[in-house]
């Protein structure tokens, strides 16, 4: 297929078979989003396809190269990495991002994955899929890997630079839904990111949110305990499972983690000198385990569908991984669980 966008799912024998075997609708992959799109994205999608995941690539068919048997949904427009999200999404109705979100809305894709413009991906998902009832603002959740096993779910990692205290309570409930369905934690412990353990510590937002989290009947009903304030050093602690914060603080914390990771690896290589070759495989494994991108990238929670957002600099491996995460999230019905927990 090629040319104008279509309003129905692309069909192929290969896809139907995969959908039947996988038990879920295909993952819509924004082929045009990312620093090295479409080539790296297509390569990542091919890997996931080779592993049996049902996929549709969304983008300009003539530019995608060898897509193997993967069906393509044609979308004639592209939203660039530095385009202004709101206006782009409103105007470029035939963009790969908007078409991906529509595919999820219309039910013939189970999830969307993009390594493109983060703001535009969020806006597409929000405008096309809509918000889940009871959610004031969707938030980006990120799993922070830790040595002790299951990750910490941190949200908001960047969707909302400024937040109201009551949104943080909703973030907590959304985080509980993700921790429960994706990571098998029945009663994840919820912490509030602050600058001291005492409830009087923090800024105005945190103090108000602390009181709301302590008394929220909705959060209480989930059975997940609120363990109070946690600090930046607790993000990788085994003592907390879900950490809520505003999107400004969360994004700074996430990127600080990423920077620390490459900083310490750089320093160890430097210190190791001639022994660096020996140390490198070990460091590589540590980085792979701790890199949030490799754990599955960011997920927009609170919209009525699954939306996984990868780094613009994602490798083919990271794209394949994001597709795997999207697939697992569909199968775990995270969105359904979230909707039933957050409804007032």
**Positions in the binding site for its own copies (CB under 8 A):** 146-147, 158, 161-162, 193-195, 201-204, 206, 231-237, 245-249, 251-268, 270-272, 275, 279, 282-283, 285-286, 289-290
CB of 227 to its own copies, least distance (A): 16
Residue closer to its own copies, measured from CB, 47 or 146: 146
CB of 172 to its own copies, least distance (A): 17
DSSP assignment of 274-329 equals: GGHHHHHHHHHHHHHHH-HHHHT-EEEESBSSEEEE--TT--HHHHHHHHHHHHHH
Structure tokens at 226: 């609120």
Residue closer to its own copies, measured from CB, 80 or 195: 195
CB of 147 to its own copies, least distance (A): 4
CB of 233 to its own copies, least distance (A): 3
Residue closer to its own copies, measured from CB, 19 or 252: 252
Q: CA gyration radius for the chain?
A: 20
Element (H, E) at 306: strand 306-309
Element (H, E) at 111: strand 111-114
Residue closer to its own copies, measured from CB, 7 or 271: 271
CB of 258 to its own copies, least distance (A): 5
Q: Phi and psi dihedrals of 309, rounded to 5?
A: -115, 120
Is 322 exposed, middle or buried, given 0-12, 13-18 or 19+ CB atoms closer than 10 A?
buried
Residue closer to its own copies, measured from CB, 215 or 256: 256
Q: Phi and psi dihedrals of 90, rounded to 5?
A: -70, -35
CB of 154 to its own copies, least distance (A): 10
Q: Which residues pair with 299 in a beta bridge?
A: 141, 308
Residue closer to its own copies, measured from CB, 214 or 234: 234
Residue closer to its own copies, measured from CB, 23 or 266: 266
Element (H, E) at 73: strand 72-74
Q: Measuring CA to CA, which residue among 28, 47, 113, 120 is closest to residue 83?
A: 120
The 3-state secondary structure of 30-62 reads ECCCCCCCCHHHHHHHHHHHHCCCCEEEEECHH
Residue closer to its own copies, measured from CB, 68 or 276: 276
CB of 246 to its own copies, least distance (A): 8
Q: Are 139 and 302 in contact (CB under 8 A)?
A: yes
Cis peptide bond prior to 38, omega within 30° of 0: yes
CB of 284 to its own copies, least distance (A): 10
CA–CA distance, 280 with 242 (Å, rounded to integer):
32
CA–CA distance, 206 with 188 (Å, rounded to integer):
20
């Amino acid at each position: 297929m090629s040319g104008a966008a279509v309003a129905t799912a692309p069909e192929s024998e290969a896809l139907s078979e995969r959908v039947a075997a996988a038990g879920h609708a295909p993952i819509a992959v924004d082929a045009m989003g990312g620093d090295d799109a479409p080539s790296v994205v297509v390569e990542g999608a091919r890997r996931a396809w080779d592993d049996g995941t049902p996929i549709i690539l969304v983008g300009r068919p003539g530019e995608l190269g060898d897509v193997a048997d993967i069906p393509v949904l044609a979308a004639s427009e592209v939203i660039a990495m530095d385009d202004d999200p709101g206006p782009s999404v409103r105007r470029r109705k035939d963009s790969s991002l908007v078409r991906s979100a529509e595919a999820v809305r219309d039910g013939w894709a189970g999830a969307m994955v993009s390594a493109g413009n983060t703001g535009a991906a969020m806006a597409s998902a929000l405008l096309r899929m809509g918000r889940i009832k009871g959610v004031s603002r969707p938030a980006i959740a990120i799993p922070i890997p830790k040595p002790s096993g299951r990750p910490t779910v941190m949200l908001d990692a960047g969707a909302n630079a400024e937040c109201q205290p009551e949104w943080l309570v909703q973030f907590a409930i959304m985080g509980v839904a993700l921790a429960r369905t994706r990571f098998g934690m029945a009663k994840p412990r919820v912490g509030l990111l602050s600058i001291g353990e005492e409830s009087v510590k923090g800024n105005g937002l945190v103090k108000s949110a602390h009181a709301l989290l302590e008394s929220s009947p909705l959060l209480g009903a989930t059975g997940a305990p609120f363990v109070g304030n946690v600090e930046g050093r607790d993000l990788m602690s085994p003592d907390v499972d879900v950490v809520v914060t505003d999107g400004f603080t969360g994004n700074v914390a996430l990127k600080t983690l990423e920077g620390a990771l490459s900083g310490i690896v750089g320093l160890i290589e430097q210190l190791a000198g001639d022994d660096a070759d020996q140390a490198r495989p070990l460091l590589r494994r540590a980085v792979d385990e701790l890199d949030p991108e490799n754990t599955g990238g960011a997920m927009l929670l609170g919209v009525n569908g699954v939306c996984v957002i990868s780094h613009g600099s994602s490798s083919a491996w990271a794209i394949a991984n994001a597709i795997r995460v999207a697939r697992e999230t569909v199968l775990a019905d995270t969105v359904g669980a979230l909707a039933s927990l957050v409804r007032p």
